[in-house]
Amino acid sequence: MGEKMKPLTPKQEAFATGVAAGLSQAEAYRQAFPNSRGWKDETVWKRASELAGNREVQGRIQELRDKAAEANEVTIERIVAEVVKIAFANQRDLMTWGPQGVKLRSSDDLTDEQAAAVSEVSESFSSTGGSLKLKTHDKLGALRFLAELKGFLVKKQEITGANGKDLVPEAPKGVLVVPGVMSEEAWEKMMAERQEGGA
């Protein structure tokens, strides 16, 4: 079992967090150690490099990067959750309309789920007035995606053999072929006789 790592100091943790978030080592160092902002660049670079070489700090940077990658991982669950927001969005959550016109709700008043349904918002002005436009994502497309995913809708595919002929010959009219009742040899004999008769 490996040696247990020492806990980081608050400044080391701030440095590791900055580097893991994408800051350069020097930027992360200056953020974690505010007094270093007046230092020469060479001094900051040297100190930041030494701190980045610390085994515990390196381990923490990697741990934070791994957590961020995991949090941003695309999974079928995340995809479905986003599509559900669009599929079951209610227009009345986004706006009101009536004889007095249309009024959009403030984005500050929308939940993340409600805002996910919005594709585009624009406002235009002209000499005769202005207009507001709110466009939502494709609700029917989202519902279709979910229905197909759940197996409620099945895409029909027609499969044919060579030259457009049936892949599996149809049984003669009036003959019911039940698997296990007719042997393979009997089926082949019957189909051969049918083909000879049709020739």
The pLDDT value given to residue 1: 44
Q: Which helix (H) or strand (E) holds 147?
A: helix 139-149
Domain count, the chain: 3
Provide the angle, in degrees to the nearest 10, between the axes of the packed helices 55-71 and 41-52: 80
**In a shared domain, residues 83 and 106:** yes
Which of 71, 94, 114 is the C-terminal boundary of a domain? 71
The pLDDT value given to residue 3: 57
* Cα–Cα distance for residue pair 88/98, rounded to 1 Å: 22
The Cβ-side half-sphere exposure at 18, using a 13 Å CA radius, reads 20
Instruction: Share the mean pLDDT of the chain.
Output: 80
Which of 71, 86, 107 is the C-terminal boundary of a domain? 71
pTM: 0.43
The pLDDT tens digits of the residues spanning 90-114 come to: 988 988 889 988 888 888 888 988 9
In a domain, 2, yes or no: no
**In a shared domain, residues 166 and 189:** yes
Say if residues 177 and 171 touch (Cβ distance below 8 Å).
yes
Cβ neighbours for 6, distance < 8 A, ≥ 6 positions apart? 56
* Cα–Cα distance for residue pair 145/142, rounded to 1 Å: 5
**In a shared domain, residues 85 and 137:** yes
**In a shared domain, residues 90 and 58:** no
- How buried is 46 (Cβ within 10 angstroms: 0-12 exposed, 13-18 middle, 19+ buried)? middle
Say if residues 25 and 52 touch (Cβ distance below 8 Å).
yes
At position 175, the amino acid (one-letter code) is V
**In a shared domain, residues 89 and 67:** no
The pLDDT tens digits of the residues spanning 119-174 come to: 888 888 888 877 778 888 898 888 888 888 887 766 665 566 666 666 555 554 44
Domain that holds residue 95: 78-141
Which of 50, 71, 92 is the C-terminal boundary of a domain? 71
Cβ neighbours for 21, distance < 8 A, ≥ 6 positions apart? 64
The pLDDT value given to residue 157: 58
